[in-house]
Amino acid sequence: MITSVLVANRGEIACRVFRTCGELGIRTVAVYSDADANALHTRVADAAVRLPGAAPSDTYLRGDLIVKAALASGANAVHPGYGFLSENADFARAVLDAGLVWIGPPPEAIEAMASKTRAKELMGLAPLGEVADTDLPVLVKAAAGGGGRGMRVVRRLEELAPALESARTEAASAFGDGEVFVEPYVENGRHVEVQILADTHGTVWALGTRDCSLQRRHQKVIEEAPAPGLAPELADSLHDMAVHAARAVDYVGAGTVEFLVAGDKAHFLEMNTRLQVEHPVTEAVFGLDLVAEQLRIAEGRALPDEPPHARGHAIEARLYAEDPAHDWAPQTGTLHRFAVPDGVRLDTGFTDGDDIGVHYDPMLAKLVAHAPTRAEAIRKLAGALDRATLHGPPTNRDLLVRSLRHEEFTTARMDTGFYDRHLPTLTAPTPDPHAPLAAALADTHGRSRFGGWRNVPSQPQTKRYALAGEEIEVRYRHTRAGGLEADGVRVVHADARLVVLEADGVRRTFEVARYGDEIHVNTTRLTALPRFPDPTAQHAQGSLLAPMPGTVVRVADGLTEGAAVQAGQPLLWLEAMKMEHKVLAPSTGTLSALHVVPGQQVTVGSLLAVVRET
């Protein structure tokens, strides 16, 4: 019997495994890096063991330290979660050799399938050899790991060499393995996968299909089950191939077989020998707890001959602290307030007051809606996201809501090129025109020392805010009766937290929260600006500022001060939250200054370089 589980992971998946363990009466143990000393998964576990350092290579990728932590804490089983060491056969062996229960597939199955190159060979496929113009486009892909890291689309032959170098660097940082391979890239296909569950007695379940086509940087954003619009024959074929893959390696536990579907044809991509991020949609449709099933299988229990019947439809959205309009740049800071309406499932590793740091993936949470029909599930999830309270750094919330309500998605005509086609319209600013006024009125009430009746109306008051990249000036005035008024808008009520405005006969309520210069009005985020700009905050024209905190991992070859550069040319690369981000030349001209070197840590707004425009 499993009595105590150490989760060799962090964040949302650690909390999710702990939740099931708690329901089953199993003791829980967390491991944490220095950056995660106060993280939610560290706080909710029954015990926690420190892994000194912050980088994954020093902490969550150190299998030797994790096994020691399990033994020291009295855990008798290890759950790997997803990512990090979840598909590392050597780690699985180390856990078993230490006399612990491994809640995952046999090491031999991991070895056979965790490397995408070996998995393709097992399925009778092979990656491309030497690439020619006729093979383009191709996808450079990390052999180990997943989550979109170590992947690059190459459309021109001259882009192949730098793409290979960049993918190797990113894969080595994220997974400790820099092996990459090249495969054909199918434009505008659908990403469809099959959840499998296998016991030690020869039973293998194929638990329906999932569609994960909405992706950014090859990382899934919205997932659903079942995959809509698949012909029954195609779905049956996918099930058969998934079961065949599992039986071919004597698989045990939960796993996922992924395919790229184009028309009525399916191309095998890989088998993930672990629990997937999107497993909750399958749980909702089949009424299962996949983590509980993993635990039972690890204890040697048998599955029933047939899985339960599917019911309804489920959709999951991944909420990220990132700015989709600016190259999906990850965002950091304090998550002041995070609340989601009832009626949807919330899996998260954050709560009010937690810090969003730079070291790990920027996913804040997963929201899952289940309903009798797909249309109802879409409406339910979009509504919950729209009404969620998110006070903190910018997120992709608006993008998720617009994606769910987009005609291509509601009619199930989406594919992996969805964001390539629609990102500009999905991220176009649509700020609430009355949000700045509500912020100004709430601020006035919260800070004013005076009030009451006035003999003469006051002169107009002004406040300045940054909203959606623009500067907004708000004007309002005090009335003789001690109230407030603004042109075209009647102020029904105003205090420091609640403002009610009426315009054109329509009354609206605004909830206002302020954290320093950061102001949230319903779902709109503003920044209060000083009355007079600080002249010392100005930078020279052409200055390139760090869009996020991170590490400079490399500078473009041959780039030195005085070099000629072209607009859009990559000048340097920042690594933040396990992803590489290009910093591009803003214009054609000359690099007049370079202020950083590889390995240097930078903060938001740090001056990286200056380009003097020709």
Measured between its terminal Cα atoms, the distance across the chain in Å is 71
DSSP 3-state of 549: coil
Number of Cα atoms under 13 Å in the Cβ half of residue 579: 23
Q: Would you state the structure tokens that stand for residue 523, as one six-digit string? A: 């779902």
- Type of residue at 321: A
- SS3 string of 424-460? HHHCCCCCCCCHHHHHHHHHHHHHCCCCCCCCCCCCC
Phi, psi of 606 (to 5 degrees): -65, 140
DSSP 3-state of 126: coil
Among 592, 472, 576, smallest CA distance to 524 is for 472
Distance CA 148, CA 565 (A): 29
Angle of CA points 264, 265, 268, to nearest 5°: 145
Burial letters 508-539, b for 16+ CB under 10 A, else e: eebebbbeeebbbbbbbbbebbeeeeeeeeee
Return the H-helix or E-strand segment holding 153.
Answer: strand 152-154
Listed in sequence order, the residues at least 6 apart from 54 whose beta carbon sits closer than 8 Å to its beta carbon are: 33, 34, 35, 359
DSSP 3-state of 487: coil
Among 486, 493, 497, 517, smallest CA distance to 446 is for 497
Q: Would you state the structure tokens that stand for residue 424, as one six-digit string? A: 């500009």
Among 503, 505, 521, smallest CA distance to 513 is for 521
Listed in sequence order, the residues at least 6 apart from 523 whose beta carbon sits closer than 8 Å to its beta carbon are: 386, 390, 397, 398, 432
Residue whose token pair is 């019947």: 309
Phi, psi of 431 (to 5 degrees): -65, 150
Residue 262 near residue 270 (C-beta atoms within 8 A): no
Listed in sequence order, the residues at least 6 apart from 447 whose beta carbon sits closer than 8 Å to its beta carbon are: none
Q: Is 274 designated active site?
A: yes
DSSP 3-state of 291: helix
Return the H-helix or E-strand segment holding 550.
Answer: strand 550-555
Distance CA 594, CA 591 (A): 7
Q: Name the catalytic one among 62, 274, 318, 374.
A: 274
Phi, psi of 421 (to 5 degrees): -85, -35
Burial letters 13-31, b for 16+ CB under 10 A, else e: bbbbbbebbeeeebbbbbb
Q: Does the bond joining 226 to the residue before it have cis omega, within 30 degrees of 0?
A: yes
Residue 129, Cβ density class (10 Å: 0-12 exposed, 13-18 middle, ≥19 buried): exposed
How many CB atoms neighbour CB 596 within 10 A?
Answer: 20
Catalytic machinery residues: 274
